[in-house]
């Protein structure tokens, strides 16, 4: 089991329904003070239902912080109050960043997304709490047929690589089973699905 007095960064990757969120929650359950950073926005009925279901699955004593765009700010502001922060998920975070850029055509600054990503990476490096991040693995999929899909896949793949480079642990979830890519957390932590 991960030492509780040593802060770590753990990236949990996987495809849709691979068990990645459940595994990340199991990682976080070992701590008493957990902050759950949700990146999803209640944009439609399906997403509202998914958010409701996810809230019910989390322990009541976890504090939920909702932030679709400014992950670095939330991590920096709240990390000292928790033993661990669980970010679910980077996939939606990237989609939110792309949507924000598209919604503001006057903002032609290509560095605004990059600046948010750089700030996130710095927040992960310096956070006084452990951080567990969930993200979809997009490197095994087909090439999206539309430019927007390819931009999304490329940005998420790049972010996953950058987070993995600074992470202490990287786990790939396959059919509910953790495959440790970096570190030892997946080998020591079992998940019941």
Q: What is the pLDDT of residues 148-173, one digit of tens each?
A: 999 999 999 999 999 999 999 999 99
Q: How far apart are CA 117 and CA 70, in angstroms?
A: 9
The residue assigned the tokens 């109050």 is 81
Q: How far apart are CA 83 and CA 8, in angstroms?
A: 10
Tally: H helices and E strands in the chain = 7, 7
pLDDT at 110: 57
Residues in Cβ contact with 13 at an 8 Å cutoff, skipping those fewer than 6 apart = 20, 135, 136, 137, 160, 164, 170, 171, 172, 173, 181
β-strand pairing of 34-38 with 63-66: parallel
Q: How far apart are CA 169 and CA 122, in angstroms?
A: 17
Catalytic positions, written as ranges:
54
Torsion of CA 156, 40, 179, 191, to 10 degrees: 180
Q: How far apart are CA 164 and CA 62, in angstroms?
A: 25
pTM across the whole model: 0.90
- 41 burial class (0-12, 13-18, 19+ CB within 10 angstroms)? middle
- Residues of the chain whose pLDDT is less than 70? 1-5, 105-111, 186-193
pLDDT at 3: 44
Q: 14, 181, 177: which is closest to 189 by C-alpha?
A: 177
pLDDT at 69: 93
The residue assigned the tokens 């960064």 is 9
Taking only the tens place, the pLDDT of each residue in 22-46 is 999 999 999 999 999 999 988 899 9
> What are the structural domains, with CATH classification, of the chain?
9-188 (3.40.50.300)
CB 98 within 8 A of CB 152: yes
């Amino acid at each position: 089991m991960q030492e509780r007095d040593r802060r770590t960064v753990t990236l949990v990757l996987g495809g849709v329904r691979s068990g990645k969120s459940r595994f990340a929650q199991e990682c976080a359950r070992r701590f008493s003070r957990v902050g759950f950073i949700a990146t999803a926005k209640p944009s439609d009925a399906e997403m509202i239902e998914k958010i409701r279901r996810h809230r019910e699955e989390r322990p009541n004593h976890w504090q939920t912080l909702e932030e679709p765009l400014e992950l670095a700010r939330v991590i920096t502001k709240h990390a000292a109050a928790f033993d661990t922060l669980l970010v679910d998920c980077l996939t939606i975070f990237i989609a939110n960043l792309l949507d924000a850029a598209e919604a503001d055509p006057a903002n032609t600054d290509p560095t605004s997304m990059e600046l948010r990503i750089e700030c996130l990476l710095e927040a992960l490096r310096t956070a006084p709490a452990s951080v567990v991040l969930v993200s979809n693995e997009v490197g095994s999929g087909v090439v999206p047929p539309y430019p927007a899909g390819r931009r999304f896949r490329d940005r998420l793949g790049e972010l996953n690589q950058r987070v993995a480079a600074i992470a202490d642990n990287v786990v790939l979830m396959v059919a509910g089973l953790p495959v440790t890519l970096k570190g030892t957390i997946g080998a020591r932590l079992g998940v019941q699905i």
